[in-house]
Amino acid sequence: MATFLRLTFFACLGAFLTSCVTSPETAQKLPASAGGSLAKVQKVRTTAYTHTERGGPRNAIGRRLSGNGVRSAASDWSRFPLGTRFRLIGTNEEYIIDDYGGALIGTNTIDLYKTSRAAMRKWGVRHVDIQILQWGSEAESLKVLRPRHRVRIVRQMIDGLQSKSVAARTRGAQAGGSL
Protein backbone atom coordinates (compact mmCIF):
# COMPACT_ATOMS: atom_id res chain seq x y z
CA MET A 1 0.00 0.00 0.00
CA ALA A 2 2.82 2.43 0.87
CA THR A 3 4.43 1.80 -2.54
CA PHE A 4 1.13 2.51 -4.27
CA LEU A 5 0.72 5.81 -2.36
CA ARG A 6 4.31 6.88 -3.20
CA LEU A 7 3.80 6.10 -6.90
CA THR A 8 0.50 8.00 -6.90
CA PHE A 9 2.12 10.97 -5.14
CA PHE A 10 5.01 11.14 -7.62
CA ALA A 11 2.67 10.72 -10.60
CA CYS A 12 0.52 13.62 -9.35
CA LEU A 13 3.59 15.73 -8.62
CA GLY A 14 4.94 15.04 -12.13
CA ALA A 15 1.61 15.98 -13.73
CA PHE A 16 1.46 19.18 -11.66
CA LEU A 17 5.01 20.24 -12.57
CA THR A 18 4.42 19.47 -16.24
CA SER A 19 1.29 21.62 -16.28
CA CYS A 20 3.23 24.49 -14.70
CA VAL A 21 6.00 24.30 -17.28
CA THR A 22 3.67 24.26 -20.26
CA SER A 23 1.14 26.83 -19.05
CA PRO A 24 0.26 29.58 -21.55
CA GLU A 25 1.66 32.24 -19.19
CA THR A 26 5.07 30.54 -19.16
CA ALA A 27 5.06 29.91 -22.91
CA GLN A 28 4.51 33.58 -23.82
CA LYS A 29 7.51 35.09 -22.03
CA LEU A 30 10.96 33.64 -21.48
CA PRO A 31 14.05 35.28 -19.99
CA ALA A 32 16.31 36.94 -22.54
CA SER A 33 19.96 35.96 -22.69
CA ALA A 34 21.15 39.49 -21.95
CA GLY A 35 20.25 41.45 -18.85
CA GLY A 36 17.63 39.02 -17.57
CA SER A 37 14.81 41.11 -19.03
CA LEU A 38 11.80 39.46 -20.57
CA ALA A 39 11.70 39.05 -24.33
CA LYS A 40 8.68 38.41 -26.51
CA VAL A 41 8.15 34.93 -27.91
CA GLN A 42 6.14 34.49 -31.09
CA LYS A 43 5.38 31.77 -33.58
CA VAL A 44 6.55 32.43 -37.13
CA ARG A 45 6.77 30.54 -40.37
CA THR A 46 10.38 29.92 -41.40
CA THR A 47 11.93 28.93 -44.69
CA ALA A 48 15.59 28.67 -45.65
CA TYR A 49 17.88 30.10 -48.31
CA THR A 50 21.54 29.81 -49.22
CA HIS A 51 24.25 31.85 -50.96
CA THR A 52 23.93 29.95 -54.27
CA GLU A 53 20.47 31.40 -54.85
CA ARG A 54 19.69 34.55 -56.84
CA GLY A 55 20.80 37.05 -54.16
CA GLY A 56 24.31 35.60 -53.94
CA PRO A 57 26.63 35.55 -50.90
CA ARG A 58 25.93 39.14 -49.76
CA ASN A 59 23.06 40.45 -47.67
CA ALA A 60 21.04 43.62 -48.25
CA ILE A 61 23.61 45.78 -46.48
CA GLY A 62 26.50 44.49 -48.59
CA ARG A 63 28.12 42.15 -46.06
CA ARG A 64 28.71 38.42 -46.43
CA LEU A 65 25.88 36.20 -45.24
CA SER A 66 26.77 34.69 -41.87
CA GLY A 67 26.35 31.00 -41.13
CA ASN A 68 28.37 30.98 -37.88
CA GLY A 69 27.65 32.46 -34.46
CA VAL A 70 24.85 34.93 -35.06
CA ARG A 71 23.47 33.86 -38.42
CA SER A 72 21.87 35.86 -41.21
CA ALA A 73 18.13 35.92 -41.78
CA ALA A 74 15.78 37.74 -44.14
CA SER A 75 12.33 39.17 -43.51
CA ASP A 76 9.87 41.86 -44.48
CA TRP A 77 11.57 44.78 -42.72
CA SER A 78 8.23 46.42 -41.98
CA ARG A 79 7.51 43.42 -39.71
CA PHE A 80 10.99 42.53 -38.45
CA PRO A 81 13.28 45.55 -39.06
CA LEU A 82 16.95 45.45 -39.99
CA GLY A 83 19.02 44.44 -36.95
CA THR A 84 16.33 42.40 -35.18
CA ARG A 85 18.05 39.61 -33.21
CA PHE A 86 16.17 36.48 -32.29
CA ARG A 87 16.73 32.96 -31.06
CA LEU A 88 15.00 29.82 -32.30
CA ILE A 89 13.49 28.28 -29.17
CA GLY A 90 13.89 24.69 -30.39
CA THR A 91 17.54 24.88 -31.51
CA ASN A 92 18.96 27.85 -29.54
CA GLU A 93 20.46 29.26 -32.77
CA GLU A 94 20.68 33.05 -32.89
CA TYR A 95 19.93 35.05 -36.02
CA ILE A 96 19.96 38.68 -37.05
CA ILE A 97 17.79 40.23 -39.75
CA ASP A 98 20.26 41.64 -42.30
CA ASP A 99 18.50 40.74 -45.54
CA TYR A 100 15.09 40.85 -47.20
CA GLY A 101 13.36 38.94 -49.96
CA GLY A 102 10.43 39.54 -52.30
CA ALA A 103 8.54 36.42 -51.25
CA LEU A 104 8.61 37.58 -47.62
CA ILE A 105 6.84 40.92 -48.15
CA GLY A 106 3.48 41.03 -46.40
CA THR A 107 4.06 37.72 -44.60
CA ASN A 108 5.05 36.66 -41.10
CA THR A 109 7.81 34.50 -42.60
CA ILE A 110 11.50 34.65 -41.78
CA ASP A 111 14.01 33.14 -44.21
CA LEU A 112 16.97 31.56 -42.37
CA TYR A 113 20.39 31.48 -44.04
CA LYS A 114 21.86 28.00 -44.37
CA THR A 115 25.40 27.32 -45.57
CA SER A 116 24.47 24.68 -48.14
CA ARG A 117 21.63 23.60 -50.39
CA ALA A 118 21.41 20.31 -48.46
CA ALA A 119 20.93 22.18 -45.15
CA MET A 120 18.41 24.48 -46.83
CA ARG A 121 16.38 21.53 -48.17
CA LYS A 122 16.61 19.73 -44.82
CA TRP A 123 15.14 22.77 -43.05
CA GLY A 124 12.25 23.10 -45.50
CA VAL A 125 9.31 25.05 -44.07
CA ARG A 126 8.76 25.04 -40.32
CA HIS A 127 6.52 26.90 -37.92
CA VAL A 128 8.68 27.68 -34.91
CA ASP A 129 8.71 29.81 -31.78
CA ILE A 130 11.29 32.58 -31.74
CA GLN A 131 12.42 34.70 -28.83
CA ILE A 132 13.06 38.31 -29.82
CA LEU A 133 16.30 39.34 -28.13
CA GLN A 134 16.52 42.85 -29.60
CA TRP A 135 14.28 44.74 -32.00
CA GLY A 136 15.96 46.24 -35.01
CA SER A 137 15.72 49.82 -36.14
CA GLU A 138 12.95 51.06 -38.40
CA ALA A 139 15.03 54.20 -39.04
CA GLU A 140 18.04 52.11 -40.17
CA SER A 141 15.75 50.00 -42.32
CA LEU A 142 14.43 53.12 -44.03
CA LYS A 143 17.98 54.47 -44.49
CA VAL A 144 18.92 51.33 -46.45
CA LEU A 145 15.63 51.06 -48.34
CA ARG A 146 14.99 54.64 -49.49
CA PRO A 147 17.74 54.71 -52.16
CA ARG A 148 16.17 51.53 -53.61
CA HIS A 149 12.61 52.93 -53.71
CA ARG A 150 12.18 52.21 -57.44
CA VAL A 151 11.86 48.48 -56.71
CA ARG A 152 8.23 47.47 -56.00
CA ILE A 153 8.95 45.21 -53.01
CA VAL A 154 11.15 47.87 -51.45
CA ARG A 155 8.37 50.46 -51.85
CA GLN A 156 6.00 48.06 -50.07
CA MET A 157 8.38 47.79 -47.10
CA ILE A 158 8.89 51.58 -47.04
CA ASP A 159 5.11 52.12 -47.08
CA GLY A 160 4.69 49.61 -44.23
CA LEU A 161 7.42 51.25 -42.14
CA GLN A 162 6.06 54.76 -42.77
CA SER A 163 2.49 53.80 -41.88
CA LYS A 164 3.77 52.28 -38.62
CA SER A 165 5.56 55.57 -37.85
CA VAL A 166 2.42 57.60 -38.57
CA ALA A 167 0.34 55.30 -36.36
CA ALA A 168 2.89 55.57 -33.53
CA ARG A 169 2.96 59.39 -33.78
CA THR A 170 -0.84 59.47 -33.77
CA ARG A 171 -1.01 57.26 -30.66
CA GLY A 172 1.62 59.45 -28.98
CA ALA A 173 -0.28 62.63 -29.79
CA GLN A 174 -3.54 61.12 -28.49
CA ALA A 175 -1.88 59.96 -25.28
CA GLY A 176 -0.22 63.36 -24.80
CA GLY A 177 -3.45 65.24 -25.43
CA SER A 178 -5.45 63.23 -22.90
CA LEU A 179 -3.18 63.98 -19.93
**What is the full per-residue pLDDT of the chain (179 aa) written as tens digits?**
554 444 444 444 444 333 333 333 333 444 444 434 446 899 999 999 999 988 899 999 999 999 989 999 999 999 999 999 999 999 999 999 999 999 999 999 999 999 999 999 999 999 999 999 999 999 999 999 999 999 999 999 999 999 877 666 666 667 765 55
* pTM, entire model: 0.73
- pLDDT at residue number 139: 95
Distances (CA, A) of 139 to 83, 88, 164, 171: 11, 25, 11, 18
| Coil, helix or strand at residue 19 | helix
Q: How many CB atoms lie within 10 A of CB 162?
A: 13
- pLDDT at residue number 28: 41
- pLDDT at residue number 20: 36
Q: How many CB atoms lie within 10 A of CB 134?
A: 13
- Taking the C-alpha atoms of residue 1 and residue 42, their distance in angstroms, rounded to an integer, is 47
- pLDDT at residue number 22: 32
For 15: left if phi > 0, alpha if psi spans -120 to 50, otherwise beta; the answer is: alpha
- pLDDT at residue number 24: 31
- pLDDT at residue number 27: 36
Q: Which domains does the chain have, with CATH numbers?
A: 39-169 (2.40.40.10)
